Amino acid sequence: MAATPTREVARRVFAREFNDSSYTFKESDDERAPVYVLLPTGERANRVFLVGTLTETEDVGEDSEYWQGRVVDPNGDTFFMYAGQYQPDAASMLRELEPPAYVSVVGKPRTYETDDGEVNVSVRPESISEVDEATRDRWVVETAERTLDRIQTFADAEESTEMDEYVQMANEEYDLPVENYRRSVVGALESLEEQQRTAPEGSAE
């Protein structure tokens, strides 16, 4: 039996940056080589890890069940995910969950082109779990840190003579200022602070 390939690290990313990640690529001609989306902050992602509020689920399939879920991050931006017969556990969760609910999702980014030439990005979930508010809050803080790290690496690479290959690729493929994603970080952290200020006394640690 062939060896199982190592699973890729699941990247933490806010929805705004994820939805801007329209460029995909492979790093070899092997038919089974992983497909990556290129994050505009100069990082490749074969898998993503997100936590947010599941606001809506819908069976959009025609001949068989094909579930769409919408997960909103603290900035109000939406991750779209789709699960059908090849993702039975995730489809079952979308069927059974009652929005609104906090969920954590690990899945693979997928892109598709619309009739008018726009590229949309969605998540094909490998797993979906219902989680509590504290888990969502931890994800927000960790995703903010990872995003700021990528922005800093991007800025450092632009000033060096040896530019990181993924930063260079992001420069070539996207005409998007990475400061957009710093604003996502600020907005997400501010929403957490606001939530903690307005939480009823005794409900937070």
Task: With respect to residue 1, please indicate whether it lies within any of the assigned structural domains.
Answer: no
Task: Choose among 193, 70, 63: nearest CA to 137.
Answer: 193
What's the pLDDT score for residue 3? 47
Task: Answer for the pair 70, 56: CB distance below 8 angstroms, yes or no.
Answer: yes
Residues 126, 79, 14: CA angle, nearest 5 degrees: 100
Task: With respect to residue 145, please indicate whether it lies within any of the assigned structural domains.
Answer: yes
Residues 33, 89, 57: CA angle, nearest 5 degrees: 105
Return the structure tokens found at 111.
């892109």
The residues that bridge with 174 in the sheet, in sequence order, are: none
* 165-198 pLDDT per residue, tens: 999 999 999 988 999 999 999 999 999 999 888 8
Task: With respect to residue 39, please indicate whether it lies within any of the assigned structural domains.
Answer: yes
Q: Coil, strand or helix: which one is 152? A: helix
Task: With respect to residue 203, please indicate whether it lies within any of the assigned structural domains.
Answer: no
Which residue range forms the structural domain that includes residue 99? Answer: 8-197
Task: With respect to residue 151, please indicate whether it lies within any of the assigned structural domains.
Answer: yes
Residue 87, domain CATH = 2.40.50.140
Higher pLDDT, 8 or 86: 86
Task: With respect to residue 202, please indicate whether it lies within any of the assigned structural domains.
Answer: no
Task: Answer for the pair 54, 96: CB distance below 8 angstroms, yes or no.
Answer: no
Residue 204 has pLDDT above 50, yes or no: no
What's the pLDDT score for residue 141? 98
Task: With respect to residue 3, please indicate whether it lies within any of the assigned structural domains.
Answer: no
Lowest mean pLDDT among 27-31, 80-84, 148-152: 27-31
How many structural domains comprise the chain?
1
Q: CA–CA separation, 191 vs 106, rounded Å?
A: 23
Q: CA–CA separation, 195 vs 126, rounded Å?
A: 30
Task: Choose among 47, 107, 76, 63: nearest CA to 190.
Answer: 76
* 56-65 pLDDT per residue, tens: 999 999 889 9
Task: With respect to residue 184, please indicate whether it lies within any of the assigned structural domains.
Answer: yes
Residue 202 has pLDDT above 70, yes or no: no
